[in-house]
């Protein structure tokens, strides 16, 4: 049997092409005209169950994501935007007198969501640890200075001998 993708020769019962790795399991069935049957259609209950599981998964992912200040600010200001639209609709839209208050539902929902996100964000931030107060010695009055010392007489000041002078004196004695 030849691979339909790369044309490499394969054994007749091969599952994959040895040249390119293409799945060859359906090639013999296609050649004989016997294709596998289509899977049975799903009933409405299994579709609804799958949708419910997907919604639960999305809720779980939303709960697990770390809170962020950006989402809190965005949600809060979108809520304020809905409030402004509701006020403008009541004042200026032809039918705004009828439906303006329905705009308050998403407005307060978004504002509440923004505040909740902010609270989660603040709670997730590590609290700064205050350093333990270190030991501070008691304040001691500075010592009193008396009159300055008198200058030294020139006779007391001497030049120290060098190290080499002392060494040469020792070497001279050994001779």
pLDDT tens profile 145-157: 777 777 777 766 6
Reply yes or no on whether the pLDDT at 23 is more than 90: no
Q: Report d(CA 50, CA 58) in Å as an integer.
A: 12
Owner of token pair 């030849």:
2
Mean pLDDT computed over 28-34: 71
Tokens representing 64 are 């697990």
Q: What is the pLDDT of residue 111?
A: 95
pLDDT tens profile 106-119: 999 999 999 999 99
Residue 138: CB atoms within 10 A of its CB come to 4
Q: Does residue 139 or residue 105 have the better pLDDT? A: 105
Q: Report d(CA 67, CA 101) in Å as an integer.
A: 30
Q: What is the pLDDT of residue 74?
A: 95
Q: What is the pLDDT of residue 166?
A: 67
Alpha carbon distances (Å) from 104 to 58, 82, 127, 145: 26, 7, 36, 78
């Amino acid at each position: 049997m030849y691979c339909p993708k790369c044309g490499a020769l394969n054994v007749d019962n091969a599952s994959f092409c040895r040249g390119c790795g293409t799945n060859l399991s359906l090639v013999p069935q296609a050649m004989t005209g016997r294709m596998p049957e289509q899977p049975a259609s799903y009933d409405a209950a299994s579709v609804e169950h799958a949708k419910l599981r997907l919604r639960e998964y999305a809720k779980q992912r939303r709960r697990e994501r770390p809170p962020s200040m950006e989402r809190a600010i965005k949600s809060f200001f979108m809520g304020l935007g809905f409030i402004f639209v509701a006020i403008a609709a009541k004042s200026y839209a032809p039918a705004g007198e009828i439906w303006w208050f329905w705009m308050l539902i998403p407005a307060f929902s978004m504002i509440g969501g923004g505040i909740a996100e902010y609270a989660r964000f603040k709670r997730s931030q590590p609290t700064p640890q205050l350093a333990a107060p270190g030991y501070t010695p008691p304040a001691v009055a500075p010592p009193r200075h008396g009159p300055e010392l008198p200058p030294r007489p020139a006779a007391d000041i001497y030049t120290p001998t060098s190290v080499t002078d002392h060494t040469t004196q020792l070497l001279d004695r050994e001779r």
